[in-house]
Structure 1
């Protein structure tokens, strides 16, 4: 890991009403692993600085200097609303990273893959899915994606066209779409029925702290070993 690097915003993509993908050009970026994150530092004209962490949404661009970050604008937040909507394209911030070596997946990690994400917690999970697609892995993969309502799904179009061998289930906690067989509600043990068997399955769980703790308990109760479960939490 190196020190702070200049990062220039080149593109902003709307994912949800408050969620954005921000694409930055970072000269001499050293690369990263799916699941890692960076620290972003903003400096005001008066010298005041604020630092926040954001997950990388895509695997490393081979030999390139491009990174994608997922930013969820938090109501009343100091940094995320500015990054999500106000930082001008072409403007620069500073980034440090890549950071984190626990919540990562690479194509060399063989065996069934169970990804469970809550809300914007799908961002690092998406980096894993994209890396898996690029590697043409034949191992089975399942994504359980929990969101409050259909309009809060990140990467909706891409998830509708995931690579062969990937199963995606969307779980709605407040408002389920018309015709949905599963009523709205938090994830339960029943939602784990039919998932890849505990033996040899790698589990990655990302989302708000309460969500991650709840899912972790469900996985343990279902027989998934603690050594097979990796978590990333926020909030």
Structure 2
């Protein structure tokens, strides 16, 4: 799943092996409520951009809690046992507040994965067909992993990113999406509740006209990845179908409301 710390609704195929003990070796905040964790996992098999992992915490009394989080970066050949995930704090949750606010470097946690074989992108996939990434909120996490995988490989597949987020303080990974090293990645970041003064678009949700103007036309047969809350994913999928995109070319990951 993505970064919002709720049970995954999609497929759970391609799970590699069982639980491993990992150590937190680095961490930083992406926003006030989102934190990236770098976990060192011995004998880690590596993962592809778009896959996720399960994290499990065990209390002193034996109680366990498991949550799924998307990797925010593909496997780094320089650190093949490192797994990078980004966690969004869920108000009232039992796992994400600890991981975002209290989980210390050097502490251990159990990891299972990688999970998922459909919602992935690899350099050279689909014969270089253009890629459209539609992200809602923390659903940007597995999609930025695809952007990073493309960049790391020097791949030239045309990418377009449409990222919908509530307000500037909630936006993550903007350096990857709007920075100087995009190498053919075209990104639009739109705000639904409050926008910065220099925003090129008024506050509002992504609509049909936005996808038609800023996405790839259906006749180019792009592969479309959609990730975010359930309502966002369903709305974006409908828009893509209305615009003539083939259902088989739309890959979606969604998450629903939860108290963690």
Give the alignment partner of residue 197 of structure 1, picking from 217, 233, 247.
217
State the match for 1:33 in structure 2. 48
- Which residue of the other structure, out of 113, 117, 123, is the alignment partner of 2:135? 117
Contact 2:22 2:111 in 1 (8 A): yes
SS in 1 for 2:100: helix
1:6 to 14, 17, 21: 21
Post-superposition shift, 1:182? 1.4
State the Cα RMSD in Å. Answer: 1.1
SS at match of 2:245: coil
Structure 2: distance between partners of 1:179 and 1:159? 17
Query: Residue in 1 aligned with 2:174?
Result: 156
**Larger displacement relative to structure 2 (152-161 or 162-171):** 152-161
After superposition, what is the alpha-carbon deviation per residue over 1:128-187, rounded to whole angstroms, capped at 9, x for unaligned?
Answer: 000011122222110101000011110123323242111010011111111323111111
SS at match of 1:15: strand
The answer to whether 1:206 aligns with 2:227 is yes
TM-score (norm 1): 0.97
Q: How many residues align?
A: 235
Tell me the equivalent position of 2:157: 139
The answer to whether 1:24 aligns with 2:39 is: yes
Verify: 1:93 aligned to 2:109, yes or no. Answer: yes
The CA distance in 1 between the partners of 2:222 and 2:174, in whole Å, is 25
Q: For residue 76 of structure 2, what is the aligned residue in structure 1?
A: 61
CA distance in 1, matches of 2:175, 2:158: 21
Name the residue aligned to 1:184.
203
Structure 2-normalised TM-score?
0.88
- Corresponding residue for 1:170? 189
1:184-222 deviation digits (Å, cap 9, x = unpaired): 111101111232121320000000111100111111111
Higher relative contact order (CA 8 A, sep 6+): 2
User: Paired residue for 1:228?
Assistant: 249
Distance 1:191 1:225 in 2: 19
Unaligned runs of 5+ in 2: 1-15
